[in-house]
Amino acid sequence: MKDIYIQLLRITQDGIPFTSRPFKDAAAELNISEEEVVDLIRKMQSEGIIRRFGASIGHRVLGITANAMCTWNVPDERVEEVGKIMAGFSEVTHCYERPRYPDWPYNLFTMVHSYTEEDCIRTAEDISKATGIEDYKLLFSEKEFKKTGIRI
């Protein structure tokens, strides 16, 4: 990857300042214009290096304290269709297909974040109804041992 991409990611990954011209310092450091900084970010986004440029939310502070990992046993031939339906739920923040094991048949994983555990349970029921997948499990996180962002 281009050096300038890495440099710009390093400068902005901890967050831009909340000022009228937040890319001013990054531009000065890289010796380019603010317009060029914005263009580079756009390019990284269209190349898929950045998934999204925007705010990370402290969801717990906002009362979104419940999260459940819902795991679903979905017939292989329905994974594509069902995965798309699940991803369409706004409460679903992540949705992945993962391998099965003899003692772990659940192959679709969705993370559900909401205000209460009851909300999560209800969302899982809604997803089940919308997809017809009835073999599923909800795993609530009882304890957070570690949580760090991925940095470069």
Partner 1 sequence: MIPLDETDKNILNAIQFDFPLDVKPFEKLGEQLEIKEEELLRRIQRLNAAGAIRRIGPIINTKKLGGVSTLAAVSVPEANIDKVAEYINQYPEVSHNYLRPDKYNIWFTVSADDENRLNEILEDIEKETDCPLINLPTVRLFKIGVMFNIR
CB of 85 to partner 1, least distance (A): 9
Q: How many residues bind partner 1 (CB under 8 A)?
A: 74
Question: Cα separation of 8 and 30, whole Å?
Answer: 8
Give residues 110-129 in contact with partner 1 (rule: CB under 8 A): 113
CB of 18 to partner 1, least distance (A): 5
Q: How far is CA 4 from CA 16, 29, 30, in A?
A: 17, 11, 8
Query: Beta-carbon neighbour count of residue 17 at 10 Å?
Result: 11
Give residues 53-72 in contact with partner 1 (rule: CB under 8 A): 53-59, 61-64, 69
CB of 39 to partner 1, least distance (A): 9
Concatenated DSSP letters for 20-40?
A: SSTTHHHHHHHTS-HHHHHHH
CB-nearer residue toward partner 1: 39 or 125: 39
Question: Cα separation of 128 and 66, whole Å?
Answer: 19
CB-nearer residue toward partner 1: 100 or 129: 100
Q: Is there binding between residue 95 and partner 1 (CB under 8 A)?
A: yes
Give the angle subtended at the CA of 143 by the CAs of 137 and 149, to the nearest 5°.
95
Q: Within its chain, how far is the Cα of 29 from the centroid?
A: 30
- Backbone φ and ψ for 16, nearest 5 degrees, come out as -85, 155
Give residues 19-38 in contact with partner 1 (rule: CB under 8 A): 19-23, 34-35, 38
Q: Is there binding between residue 75 and partner 1 (CB under 8 A)?
A: no
Q: Which of 4, 93, 117, 122 binds partner 1 (CB under 8 A)?
A: 93
Q: Which of 2, 28, 29, 98 binds partner 1 (CB under 8 A)?
A: 98
The token pair at 78 is 């329905």
